[in-house]
């Protein structure tokens, strides 16, 4: 018995000696500035606090983001009224406390940092309300998941673009759905959300944003790449560029998008299904 134990230990040691560490050289990408300038305003509400975040892309093995401090950030409407964003508490976060967004108005973003000047333009479209929200049971691959359905009515004017956000406590990030009114103009329509973790007692917050065509196209490309992400040996996705331009060096593009939207929101708490 002791002899068997000895040979087993010897075999384990010999196997371990064959395991050489493998070092993978990861190509370091050029650091890029990331600008998160998403300004949102609830329908029929007044002045809102708005935040713009500026950072720099980090290396693969770095956990913490690299906030960029000391930037000059402002938003200007088409009437020439300026709104300054100030870095107050968190590094890289710039806040404006008195910004009221007006419907059907163009806005211009201007940022200066590290002797570089960035600009973008966006328009606030008039938001629409969610008509109603309902729950059902029987979705998913095994027909055993709850489903939430939100209804809205397109106003039938022009080309409209929408972003639905479904927010829950069990999702780290909102579930996004984008759509246009090419085939639904002037009609009542619905968008659904389901998840295996959506159970009785869970609350879902639903937001309906009316967005610009440019932001819609950007999100379409971004969501398509996220959905098509493959393994490490798959072809790498192309870079999705936003609408923020580096005026000092157009070839040194930034990540992110300057978007403005008005939204309506409702919540629903999942209730037990009736037998």
Residue 258 neighbours by CB under 8 Å, 6+ apart: 35, 37, 109, 120, 121, 122, 242, 243, 244
Tell me the per-residue pLDDT of 29-67, one tens digit each, with 9 for 90 and over: 678 899 999 999 999 887 889 999 999 987 655 666 799
Closest Cα to residue 92, out of 122, 65, 115?
A: 65
Amino acid 233: pLDDT: 45
pTM above threshold 0.85:
no
Position 275 scores a pLDDT of: 58
Distance CA(251)–CA(246), nearest Å, equals: 8
Phi and psi dihedrals of 221, rounded to 5? -65, -40
3-class secondary structure per residue, 132-176? EEEEEEEECCCCCEEEEEEEEECCCCCCCEEEEEEECCCCCCCEE
- pLDDT score of 58: 73
Instruction: Show the tokens assigned to 177.
Output: 């759905």
Sequence length of the chain is 275
pLDDT band at residue 238 using 50, 70 and 90 as cut-offs: low
The arithmetic mean of pLDDT across residues 210-230, rounded, is: 84
Distance of alpha carbon 250 from alpha carbon 78, whole angstroms: 24
Given pLDDT bands bounded at 50, 70 and 90, which one contains residue 10?
Answer: very low
Nearest to 252 by CA among 34, 54, 26, 28: 34
Terminal CA-CA length for the chain: 63
Least confident of 105-114, 120-129, 134-143, 153-162: 134-143
**Mean per-residue pLDDT over the chain, rounded:** 85
Q: What is the pLDDT of residue 98?
A: 82
Q: How many CB atoms lie within 10 A of CB 198?
A: 21
* Helix, strand, coil percent values for the chain (each to nearest 5): 10, 45, 45
Q: pLDDT value at position 27?
A: 55
What are residue 131's phi and psi, to 5 degrees? -70, -50
Q: pLDDT at position 11, please? A: 45
Percent of the chain beyond pLDDT 90?
Answer: 67
Least confident of 34-43, 147-156, 192-201, 238-247: 238-247
Residue 264 near residue 207 (C-beta atoms within 8 A): yes
């Amino acid at each position: 018995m002791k002899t068997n134990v000895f040979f087993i230990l010897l075999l384990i040691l010999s196997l371990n000696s064959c395991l050489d560490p493998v070092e993978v050289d990861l190509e370091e990408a050029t650091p890029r500035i990331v600008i998160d300038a998403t300004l949102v305003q609830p329908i029929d509400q007044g002045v809102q606090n708005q935040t713009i975040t500026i950072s720099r892309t980090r290396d693969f093995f770095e956990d913490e983001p690299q906030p960029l401090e000391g930037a000059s950030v402002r938003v200007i409407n088409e009437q020439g009224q300026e709104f300054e964003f100030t870095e107050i508490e968190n590094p890289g976060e710039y806040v404006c406390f008195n910004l009221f967004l007006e419907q059907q108005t163009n806005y211009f973003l201007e940022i200066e940092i590290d002797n570089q000047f960035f600009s973008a333009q966006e328009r606030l479209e008039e938001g629409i309300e969610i008509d109603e929200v309902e729950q059902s049971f029987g979705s998913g691959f095994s027909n055993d998941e709850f489903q939430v359905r939100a209804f809205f009515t397109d106003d039938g004017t022009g080309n409209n673009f929408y972003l639905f956000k479904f927010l829950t406590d069990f999702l780290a990030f909102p579930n996004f759905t984008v759509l246009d009114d090419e085939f639904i103009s002037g009609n009542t329509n619905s968008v659904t959300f389901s998840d295996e973790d959506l159970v009785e007692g869970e609350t879902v917050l639903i937001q309906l944003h009316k967005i610009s065509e440019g932001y819609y196209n950007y999100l379409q490309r971004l969501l398509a790449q996220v959905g098509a992400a493959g393994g490490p040996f798959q072809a790498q996705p192309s870079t999705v560029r936003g609408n923020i331009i580096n005026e000092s060096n157009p070839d040194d593009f930034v990540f992110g998008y300057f978007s403005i939207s008005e939204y309506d929101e409702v919540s629903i708490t999942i209730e037990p299904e009736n037998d």
